[in-house]
Homo-oligomer: A and B are copies of this chain.
């Protein structure tokens, strides 16, 4: 009836951490007195740790021409995506367009040295832009300080090992959040698409404002915008076509070349649309002196001079906000932005990790330093973005070195091309954002979520709705808290299997099997349930503890009360297969004569025979006395 005892030696049978193995290589004994801290330091900065914390040291020695070519192509292709994206995203953040470009080169360079994931070029992202808009409210100084502080927080999280916090954002919450952000970003672009004025802070207010102002829309802005959207979606579709995939002998050379060209068309679609519409805008201004569609306007030229982030700023009412006031205005954003950026970044890293493990700590350190660096270039917070990673991966990226070319292209754009950017129509940029962002609405997770676990729809849809109605950070925090309540409920309400069994000697007993650990939220429930089950009959009760992997003091106290209750009722209570670690916790509190543990099936009969609590009621069988 009772399965053979299977005693897992311990949980520590994993291979020991590698650091300790490699450390011996580098220990040099140069005199006893100085050995202490020196060797300690050396042990810390051995080769393995160096490769882990400064990943460039791991891949640079193996760098070759093939990798260099791959990185060059990928870097340039990504650059063609980054430049229009950066211009557009800074619009989402409510900042002048150049600030997006300011955040797209220094961070890339830092990431080459420190970054662990080759397909993640650090720069502005859609989500971080929207959060920056909500938190800094379009004030440049606050946005830049936010970059600095969020970089610091990321770095601290990496150093202090707080990366596990990200694990508390579940799949459903993350999907709900991303989808809500996508809808909000798309909504924020409607004003540029139709050239109307949109007011309101929440999603609903903005749509009401859109519908009441739509009659003031210009004609040519939406025409250009929708043409751009259609073009972008078409090019995206074309880029996905693989010619000759159905051929028996694989695609022919001509088909391969054509496929490559189409892929390039799809990949560079944003740059193509922006350049074409920019030429159109330039032609309108040059030929007619004015454009029928709204243009971006002048952008200051040149790479910004590095300077520390602003620690005070002039408010609209001419009062000055000092550092502490700025921090209190940024509020929880200082924590939320790093968490969200890291969440996005690490999920991208995982998607492109090819099954290798992702070092989240290293990502935090890399992005933290990259953001701190970016704050000296007047950039707003950023990280890895999915769109760029897809392009990089598709272009055959080999190492993080591709970031060099991307960064150089951005610098060149800032230095030489900003005067042309002013002719880019706003509607074209809105089209770039909208046609990219709509694929971020994760409606396709609903079905598997429904099939897998319907309860997970609550945090998923809840986060989605809350993010659309509340400030974003409140929305996602509420979602996380709701999801944590699920975990706590799980801890508080273990499930039980209750069976009436017979020993080999034919004595009936009640076997109660809880399915998880005994921790303080559940002990009361367990005690009540065991008492209730046991009260219905007076047969001996066995609690099967195979699944109880952990316990605490409160559980031990409860077990003590339970054993005392059973003792007072003269009903035998035994514990079966208690893990040694759990056993020692229970034994520290419970009276030893009340707390009886057994591990082998046949022990039960001997225990029952010897149990004095059963003596007055019935005579024990004469055989098998312990």
Enumerate A1-35 residues with CB–CB distance to B below 8 Å. 3-4, 6, 8-11, 13-15
Enumerate A508-540 residues with CB–CB distance to B below 8 Å. 513, 515-517, 519-525, 528-529, 531-533, 535-536
Counting CB contacts under 8 A, is A492 at the interface? yes
Counting CB contacts under 8 A, is A547 at the interface? yes
Q: Interface segment, A167-175, A179-187, A462-470? A: A167-175
**Given A6-B3, A491-B487: A496 touches B547 (CB 8 Å cut-off):** no
**Given A168-B521, A496-B11, A498-B14: A550 touches B448 (CB 8 Å cut-off):** no
**A515 lies within 8 A of B13 (CB):** no
Enumerate A480-496 residues with CB–CB distance to B below 8 Å. 483-484, 486-488, 490-493, 495-496
Counting CB contacts under 8 A, is A355 at the interface? yes
A105-B435 Cα distance, complex, nearest whole Å:
72
**A357 lies within 8 A of B531 (CB):** yes
**B491 lies within 8 A of A490 (CB):** yes
**A452 lies within 8 A of B515 (CB):** no
Copy number in this complex? Answer: 2
Instruction: Tell me which residues across on chain B come within 8 A of A498, comparing CB atoms.
Output: 13-14
Instruction: Tell me which residues across on chain B come within 8 A of A520, comparing CB atoms.
Output: 167-171, 483
Interface of A is mostly: helix
Counting CB contacts under 8 A, is A600 at the interface? no
The residue on B at minimum CB distance from A516 is B549
Counting CB contacts under 8 A, is A543 at the interface? no
Q: Which of B167, B354, B515, B561 contacts A522 (CB 8 A)?
A: B167
**A448 lies within 8 A of B553 (CB):** yes
Number of interface residues of A (CB under 8 A): 82
**Given A14-B498, A517-B516, A522-B167: A488 touches B490 (CB 8 Å cut-off):** no
Enumerate A114-172 residues with CB–CB distance to B below 8 Å. 164, 167-172
Counting CB contacts under 8 A, is A565 at the interface? yes
Instruction: Tell me which residues across on chain B come within 8 A of A610, comparing CB atoms.
Output: none
Counting CB contacts under 8 A, is A215 at the interface? no
A497-B14 Cα distance, complex, nearest whole Å:
7
**B14 lies within 8 A of A452 (CB):** no
A167-B586 Cα distance, complex, nearest whole Å:
19
18 extra A-B contacts, CB within 8 A, seeds A164-B525, A452-B584, A486-B552: A3-B3, A14-B496, A14-B498, A167-B492, A170-B552, A171-B554, A354-B568, A448-B553, A452-B553, A452-B586, A453-B551, A453-B556, A453-B588, A456-B553, A486-B519, A487-B487, A490-B517, A516-B517
Please give the residue numbers on chain A whose beta carbons come within 8 Å of chain B beta carbons, in ascending order: 3-4, 6, 8-11, 13-15, 164, 167-172, 350, 354-358, 448-449, 451-453, 455-456, 460, 483-484, 486-488, 490-493, 495-499, 513, 515-517, 519-525, 528-529, 531-533, 535-536, 547, 549-554, 556-557, 561, 565-566, 568-569, 584-586, 588-589
